[in-house]
Structure 1
């Protein structure tokens, strides 16, 4: 139950991160946003890492760190390419497929496979999140999959979803070799350095952008740090595929926030169907 609660905390933190990010992206570019997120997270986690003391760096940890950081950087670049080249309505739903990919990658990489009831819960959460992310003017529920044939952005997003199914399992390896805090810090600190040349090349006056939105970016980084830490601790108690599935349930909180505070009431019927389906999946995973 502790692992489930931690994973649920990940979903809440992820939703808060997404909501605050949405407001910030009206004022800064995506490259500055990505850099700032990793910068704040590194600053917040550094004192904790120093307080807890050094960890033994095994070769397995170092290989996991290199693989995870490179793959995460690839995800950042592909994600931005996807949303730049295609409509969000046909790309974002494809992200929800990550837990399904993990039914393949987790047994191969870390020897974890959910029981039959857990698989049902994962499928329900994926289906509910997928439905919730469909655009209100989407006439065909399978449109995001159809777009894979002719839409490069959709193909990029599908690759993003698959890579996340790999990096989530690598997180388990990193946590096993060190600790949740140390792994979260070292991975994102390394990605921060990868982003520096990209920021210099792609962004216009990034320091001014950061200064103008410093408090908003601080909140984004704080919620992201909370999301990462709860996720890393959660995977110590329950299967990684369960954690990522529950994490995707963050769409529940985003939908409710948009409905009550942003007055986004379009497509409410489909979104309520999605929420109910997600809740059913969460319940099944909790009792499995």
Structure 2
């Protein structure tokens, strides 16, 4: 039963994430990264406060819990600032697929921090993920000239959006692993809402209050802001419920189906070219992700 529960929750999480990204790009493209981060964190935290009902006394939480949180918050804010800039300014098909690297990074981080072990086939999974990133930029290579065969991989670092999302994938590998470390001290149905309340408060203090005008400008398109916030709240809730039921790598693997959904959104809503190539690349990367997990 738990197997079905975590899988269903992870699929809902993936769809909500991809939909929030597409809605952000479609309706909030003229928003700054600061404004978008306030929406994704502060407003989501406010929306999730009803889930705090029944929260155990904070005084019962050990110092270790607050240590995990203190490390997580700045990393989450940094990752979201880069994430929002990447999907706002660059094609979804050239940014979202690089989130597939998160499980590859999780292998090393979860092993070191949590002692979680993933099978040796993870190495093959990593190679497939790298192969998928090569396929995303395969037009940079010429079959007749072996000197160009590494060009698609180099293009990842030359394209700003791809480079930024690769950095986000690394940060998310850290936060997903550390988040489970903090989660051992609080029930998942409470942790997601409480964590985003803290994250929203930190974002408000660091980004909103120094520039009060930002808070007012966020509401210039309220219907779009509420839709993105609602989708993000669904994603957060299902993320923390699922990750409590299964190994970090497994949950993140299924959640990364969002990259395929995002590519489809890119072709449908933004007429991004090369759908077949991008889906093939995403399929290869997802195969690697699932090999890592299973």
Place the TM-score, normalised by the shorter chain, in its bin: 0.7 to 0.9
1:217 matched to 2:225: yes
Q: How far 1:74 sits from its partner (Å)?
A: 2.7
Q: What does the per-residue CA deviation read over 1:241-261, in whole Å, with 9 as the maximum and x for residues that have no partner?
A: 2222222220211222333x3
- Once residues 251 and 83 of structure 1 are traced to their aligned partners in structure 2, the CA distance between those partners, rounded to angstroms, is 12
Q: 1:46 to 1:88 in 2, by over 3 A?
A: closer
Aligned to 2:208: 199
- Once residues 116 and 139 of structure 2 are traced to their aligned partners in structure 1, the CA distance between those partners, rounded to angstroms, is 39
**What SS is found at the alignment partner of 1:182?**
helix
Aligned to 1:101: 105
Map residues 22-101 of structure 1 onto 2, 5 A cutoff. 22-54=25-57, 56-79=60-83, 94-101=98-105
Q: How far 1:229 sits from its partner (Å)?
A: 1.6
Aligned to 1:166: 174
The answer (yes or no) to whether the contact 1:89–1:135 under 8 Å persists in 2 is no
- Once residues 88 and 23 of structure 2 are traced to their aligned partners in structure 1, the CA distance between those partners, rounded to angstroms, is 20
1:262 matched to 2:269: yes
Q: How far 1:109 sits from its partner (Å)?
A: 0.5
The answer (yes or no) to whether the contact 1:89–1:138 under 8 Å persists in 2 is no
For structure 2, the residue ranges without an aligned partner over 5 or more in a row are 142-150
For structure 1, the residue ranges without an aligned partner over 5 or more in a row are none
- Once residues 167 and 292 of structure 2 are traced to their aligned partners in structure 1, the CA distance between those partners, rounded to angstroms, is 26
Q: What does the per-residue CA deviation read over 1:96-145, in whole Å, with 9 as the maximum and x for residues that have no partner?
A: 322211111010111112224566567656755x468x369655421345
Structure 2 length normalisation: TM-score?
0.78
- Once residues 24 and 76 of structure 1 are traced to their aligned partners in structure 2, the CA distance between those partners, rounded to angstroms, is 18
1:236 matched to 2:244: yes
Q: What does the per-residue CA deviation read over 1:26-54, in whole Å, with 9 as the maximum and x for residues that have no partner?
A: 24222111102222311222111124554
- Once residues 146 and 156 of structure 1 are traced to their aligned partners in structure 2, the CA distance between those partners, rounded to angstroms, is 9
**What SS is found at the alignment partner of 1:226?**
helix
Aligned to 2:152: 141
- Mean CA deviation greater in 186-195 or 35-44: 186-195
CA-atom RMSD in angstroms: 3.5
- Mean CA deviation greater in 151-160 or 185-194: 151-160
The answer (yes or no) to whether the contact 2:98–2:165 under 8 Å persists in 1 is yes
- Once residues 21 and 57 of structure 2 are traced to their aligned partners in structure 1, the CA distance between those partners, rounded to angstroms, is 32
Q: What does the per-residue CA deviation read over 1:230-279, in whole Å, with 9 as the maximum and x for residues that have no partner?
A: 111212222112222222220211222333x3272621221231344356
Aligned to 2:146: none
Select 1:21's aligned residue among 15, 20, 24.
24
- Once residues 44 and 79 of structure 2 are traced to their aligned partners in structure 1, the CA distance between those partners, rounded to angstroms, is 18
Q: How far 1:76 sits from its partner (Å)?
A: 3.2
The answer (yes or no) to whether the contact 1:172–1:240 under 8 Å persists in 2 is yes
- Once residues 187 and 106 of structure 2 are traced to their aligned partners in structure 1, the CA distance between those partners, rounded to angstroms, is 22
Aligned to 2:196: 188
Aligned length: 280
The answer (yes or no) to whether the contact 2:40–2:229 under 8 Å persists in 1 is yes
**What SS is found at the alignment partner of 1:177?**
coil
Structure 1 length normalisation: TM-score?
0.79
